Every structure is written in C-alpha cells, then in structure tokens.
C-alpha cells in the first residue's frame, strides 16, 4: 500500500466519505428509529407527539452511543457509585460522648459436664468461661466445628468450612490468654459469616453458581475487626443467591425447627447455624429484611444497625444506598458485645460515621418514651396473638406505650431505588447472559428483576430518592417524639421504610403460632442509637424465655 502522502486530496476525501458511509451503514442496524419510540413511551408512562419524537431521535442515538461505550468498561461489584446516600435528617444532632459499656455479669456461668452442652450458651457466657480458663478456645472451636460438620450438610447452611484457619486462630487465642493478653469478650469465640464477605484464603461465592469458585484477595473489614478482637472464624455460611431468599447453588438452607422448610433469607445460613447451635453468633446483611426475616423464621435475635455504622468494604454490593451489615445471636446482649467490635470507620467505606456506641444493660422503661404502631398491631395477621402478648409484657415491665403512625409517604413505590441499584450491581451478569446459570429463574427471581431494572429511567430513580429525602425528614419528626418504637416484624410498611431511611432495628423471638411457626417482634431506634434498642430488647427477653428454646436436631 502506498503512503497517504502520495494520494491526491480529492481521492483522500472520496476514501474518507466511503469509509464513513460504510461505518454509518453498519451502525444503523442498532440505531433507534422514530417508530421505536412510542413503544418505549408506554414503559415510562409518557406520550410524545410525532414532532417531539422526531426531535429527540438524534439525542436518543447519541445516548445509546454513551451506553455502548460505558459497557466496554469493566466495573467490579466492589466499585461504588460516586453518589453517596445521606441518611442524616436536616438538623440531626449526633451523640458525641462515649460512655463505658455496661454489660451484665456472667460470673454465675458454670461449665457443664459435657462440652457439647455449650452449643447453646451465649457469647457472654462463653466469654466468661474462656477468660476464667474453664474451657479453651481450641476445645470450644473443635466442638463447634464438629457440629458444623455433622449438621451443616443436613441444613445446607455451610458453603465453606474454614477449619484449618479456625484451629490456628483458636491456638493463638489460647496462647495469648495464657499469657494474660486478653483482648476482650470475643477473644477465642467461634463465629461464622455470610458468604458475601471476602476472605483472601477462601472462596467468596455470593451463593450463586456463576461465582462459586470466585477468589477475592482481601479480607473484609468486618472480618479484620473480629480477628483483631480475637474471634475465631469457623465457616462461610450459605445465603440466598445474590442476597435473595434461602436458595443457593447447593440447595435450600433448612430451618432447624422444621427441616422440610427453608430458613428464609438472605442471611439464611447465619440464622440457621445460630439457631441450631452450630455457632454462637454469625454475621449477616440486610437490604430489605434479610436479617429480620431469617431471624424470625429460625427463632434467633438479630440486629440491623443504622446505615453508615458498619463498614461494607469487602462485602458484595446489592444496593449501595440500602445494604447494611449486621448480626444474628442468641440474645440481645450478645448483639451489643459483637456490634461493639465491628462498628466504626475503616478508611475505605466512605459512607461511615464515627459515632459513639453507648449500651447499658440496666435501662428503666419508665424513663423512656416507647411508641408502638397501633394500627398495624390492630390488624389480623399471623403474629397478632403473640404480638399482643408481647405488648402486654412490655407494659408489665413498666413501658407506657404511645400510639404512633409512620409517615404517609409512597414507601412501596420508591422500592425502585433498590431494583435500579441491584440492576447496576449485576449489569455484566445480565449482559453476558450468565444470569441463566442462577438456580432461580421464575418471574420474581433476580434474572428477571435485573432485566426489568434496565427500563427504570434515571429521572425516576432520582425522583424516588427525592421522595426518600422527604421520608427521612418526616421520620425524624416522629423520632423526636419518642426514644424507641415497636413494630410487627412483617406487617405494614415498617420493614421497607426503615431500610430506606437507615434506622436500626432489633428483632427478637416471641414464641410460636398455633401452627408451630416461630414469631418475632421488632424494636426500632433513632439513627445510631443501637445501644438503647438492644437494652430494651434485653429487658424484654430476660422477662421471657422464648430465646432459650432450641430445636431438636437428632
């Protein structure tokens, strides 16, 4: 081929014109035509005129070009959007003073004859036995590993057993404690994590077949903080695939109370394992009920902290503005013990707030303004009878219940925030058609939701967040009148509403329905006031025995 400088300028122009025409003809196959626009209008709820459609055609094709270029850029799930959700109401005042944490005394804890009987001891009780050297971390860890091996396969609650790592950590804890280098109440305590948190030496599967061999070379912040506290990681636990329900690539996680049924999700293995006495506590996450629901179904106590309390660095993103890392335990005070170790900033997650955590196990109900969602509790629903008994018990304990109602805002409609963000988080999964590998393929499953999310206009997503801003302001007006409020765990809009506003909640068991299903009730607090709702839940629990009941596995 001759160099271009030897071609006349006229010939060069002809060549460029021809090449541009070829390029244009190749692109027109993918271009948006005017007759395509009316169909799209129906999806968005608009109706434009023919003149308007003609005018916008070039702009639509230009935007399509932007999308095509964006699709060429690989965006890892760990990359957040530059727009950060702000849950803080206008004029909100943060607690600035950190007081000493006041836990209950566990000095009456006795070592049982058989170590297996420690399976259902609380974190506080196990902590006392380890500190006083009545049991070693290694002995305790081996016992729980044995239970994980025995019952995990029956419950489908374990994805990866971290046995070698656990025994190494337990040995280190015992050596430190023998030298009086005691790190605190989690030192030597075994635990498990939902398998959406990264561990550099073990796979992180997100419960989904397309990622079941995924290795990510980092430890999540939460895991690092628990390791610093001396806790012992024993297992990566099952989760509903990509954080939905209780079905993962290994099957359906089972409810220890009735293994013919699921554990609910998506913190499925975390709830099932704690309920079955396979671990003293486990880390879970919630976007819209993923701690509250499995805690209820499996009869454990769960904490969903305020948005911005616990680092999500190293956690799978489903919805950047709604995901929260929390925990599932035997009782409310265990929540406080563990939460104190995982909260706080880390220099990675930019959504975090450095706020004190104040917990006092001795709280006076008579000094609190405790609200309850009167209209929701008045409805006829499956938990109604047990919820009524729970409210009565709270009044017996000195609570003066104040009837309240949640803000009347379009809560259900703005759930498109979650849908849009989830679609973005798994954009490449959809475009690659690897979503076909997911176990669940019905209309309400992720593959279809992700596809439908492509049709949520950016304008509607932004306006939904503007409505969310109004919701946050209205919620603050309500919370200024009370300290804590009580809600049915599933009835009404409370679960979605508080996940949108970022308020913390504690869910505790309240017994069984006549049909044998477990029930629960939920305590909701002010932003960053986890200590108060945990303390209130603890007083309620110590006046009942629901949290001390355990399933029979053999």
- Please give the positions annotated as active site: 194, 266, 290
113 vs 110: CA distance, rounded Å = 9
Burial of 35 (0-12, 13-18, 19+ CB in 10 A): exposed
Helix/strand/coil (H, E, C) string of 182-246?
CCCCCCCCEEEEECCECECCECCCCCCHHHCCCCCCCCCHHHHHHHHCCCEEEEEECCCCCCCCC
In b/e form, how buried is each residue of 320-344, taking b as 16+ CB within 10 angstroms?
Answer: bbbbbbbbbbbbbbbbbbbbbbbbb
Torsion angle, alpha carbons of 438, 450, 272, 298, to 10: -140
Q: What is the DSSP letter of 347?
A: S
| Two structure tokens written together for 17 | 């014109």
Q: Which of 211, 247, 244, 285 is closest to 419 using CA atoms?
A: 244
450 vs 35: CA distance, rounded Å = 26
435 vs 438: CA distance, rounded Å = 6
**Angle value at C-alpha 294, between 229 and 238, nearest 5 degrees:** 65
Neighbouring residues of 41: CB distance < 8 A, sequence distance ≥ 6: 47, 48
- Cα distances from 400 to residues 328, 369, 397, 485, 540, in angstroms, run 28, 7, 9, 11, 14
Q: Are 540 and 390 in contact (CB under 8 A)?
A: yes
Q: Are 205 and 212 in contact (CB under 8 A)?
A: yes
Torsion angle, alpha carbons of 481, 482, 488, 490, to 10: 70
């Amino acid at each position: 081929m001759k160099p271009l400088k030897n071609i006349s300028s006229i010939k060069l122009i002809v060549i460029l014109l021809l090449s541009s025409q070829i390029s244009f003809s190749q692109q027109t196959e993918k271009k948006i035509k005017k007759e395509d626009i009316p169909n799209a209008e129906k999806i968005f709820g608009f109706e434009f005129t023919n003149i308007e459609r003609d005018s916008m055609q070039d702009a639509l094709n230009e935007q399509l070009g932007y999308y095509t270029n964006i699709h060429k850029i690989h965006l890892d799930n760990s990359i957040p959007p530059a727009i950060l959700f702000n849950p803080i109401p206008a004029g909100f005042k943060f607690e600035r003073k950190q007081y000493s944490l006041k836990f209950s005394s566990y000095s009456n804890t006795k070592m049982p004859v058989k170590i297996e009987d420690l399976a259902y001891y609380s974190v506080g009780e196990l902590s006392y036995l380890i500190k006083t050297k009545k049991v070693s971390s290694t002995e305790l860890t081996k016992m729980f590993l044995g239970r994980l091996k025995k019952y995990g396969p029956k419950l489908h609650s374990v994805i990866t057993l971290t046995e070698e790592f656990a025994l190494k950590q337990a040995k280190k804890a015992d050596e430190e404690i023998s030298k009086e280098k005691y790190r605190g109440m989690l030192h030597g305590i075994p635990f498990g994590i939902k398998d959406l948190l990264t561990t550099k030496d073990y796979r992180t599967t997100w419960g989904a077949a397309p990622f079941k061999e995924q290795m990510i070379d980092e430890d999540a912040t939460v895991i690092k903080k628990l390791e610093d506290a001396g806790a012992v990681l024993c297992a990566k636990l099952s989760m509903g695939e990509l954080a939905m329900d209780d079905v993962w690539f290994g099957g359906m996680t089972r409810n220890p109370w009735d293994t013919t049924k699921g554990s609910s999700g998506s913190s499925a293995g975390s709830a099932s394992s704690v309920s079955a006495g396979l671990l003293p506590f486990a880390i879970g996450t919630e976007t819209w009920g993923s701690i509250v629901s499995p805690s209820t179904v499996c009869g454990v106590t769960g904490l969903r902290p305020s948005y911005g309390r616990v680092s999500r660095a190293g956690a799978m993103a489903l919805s950047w503005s709604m995901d929260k890392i929390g925990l599932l335990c035997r009782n409310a005070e265990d929540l406080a013990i563990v939460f104190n170790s995982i909260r706080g900033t880390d220099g990675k997650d930019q959504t975090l707030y450095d706020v004190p955590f104040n917990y006092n196990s001795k709280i006076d109900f008579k000094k609190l303004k405790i609200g309850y969602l009167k209209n929701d509790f008045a409805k006829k629903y499956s938990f109604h009878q047990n919820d009524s008994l729970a409210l009565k018990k709270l009044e017996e304990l000195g609570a003066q219940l104040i009837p309240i109602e949640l803000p009347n805002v379009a809560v259900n409609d703005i759930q498109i925030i979650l849908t849009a963000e989830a679609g973005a988080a798994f954009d490449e999964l959809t475009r690659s058609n690897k979503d076909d590998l997911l176990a669940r393929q019905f209309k309400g499953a992720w593959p279809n939701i992700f596809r439908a999310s492509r049709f949520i206009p950016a304008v509607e997503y932004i306006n939904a967040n503007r409505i969310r801003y109004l919701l946050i302001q209205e919620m603050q007006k309500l919370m200024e009148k009370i300290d804590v409020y009580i809600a049915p765990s599933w009835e009404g809009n409370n679960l979605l509403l508080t996940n949108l506003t970022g308020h913390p909640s504690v869910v505790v068991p309240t017994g069984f329905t006549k049909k044998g299903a477990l029930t629960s009730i939920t305590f909701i607090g002010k932003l960053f006031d986890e200590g108060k709702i945990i303390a209130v839940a603890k007083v309620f629990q110590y006046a009942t025995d629901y949290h001390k009941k355990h399933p029979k596995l053999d």
